[in-house]
Structure 1
């Protein structure tokens, strides 16, 4: 005999519903809370970035103002006449010392070439159809003057001269043959233009033989 009677039919039993008003409100609240938190974090990070950008911008503007001030100071600064004179004097002295050093080097190179060897080599290059009247030897100049019997005697003599030790590798800037009343005269010059000017004005370390 049944002592219990089930008056609740199965269709009237409570069921859990995933989507309902209460659950929907909870989900909306949770999503809203997450959005607020995320927005707050973004606002905070954006504020830090803005502050950093503002600081960098302020530093750049400060540096630009300082640069502008220095530029204006340099632009408005007047040149010191005494300093310009000193600078010009120093430059002149430097150029003079450079020229002096170059002359000393030329003199030292000339001293290394013995004059006795030069006369020996000139005698080795002796030619019967050519004779010297005078020649000049200096650190920056070398010249020969004399007479010829025939025009082709000069290139032959230069070939002989270039085979000697003293005049080995010697190059001449000017070779000239002139016909005059007393015969053929020749002139050989190996002098750079500047060295010729210095030799004419200073006449230093020069040996002339006639």
Structure 2
């Protein structure tokens, strides 16, 4: 038996909101947070890509500059005509200098040796009646100028000189003789080169 009567109809009851305001606010805040995080991530990736692109552009620019330098150096190395001409010029200068030094060295050695030997032989085979006034070396020849009291002493002096180590087997090729103030002036030359030993 009913003891209560329910006058609160079902249509009048409070209905439960499937999406309450707090849940809606939480959902929107979550969505905004996700959007912010996504935007920040893509912004960072974009910034990193721009930095990387700038760095690569810089490296590319440096690489092009180095490539131009290498090309220029290669072109200079391939153009060897100037260097070959300079090398030939230097080689010719060195060759000429070597020839000059060799000639001067031989001339100096030969002149010093010949002069010393001639002086020694003249001192050893001195003729009292003959006075030498001038000695001249020309190439491989030596010229004597002097005076003699009598011309007969000249052949004797020549024969004595031919016995010396230096004048042995050498011929007196030129002889000029003149008389002045009672003295005979002579001019005689000889070849310094050895003619070979007599048989």
Tell me the TM-score normalized by structure 2. Answer: 0.41
Larger Rg: 2
Tell me the TM-score normalized by structure 1. Answer: 0.39
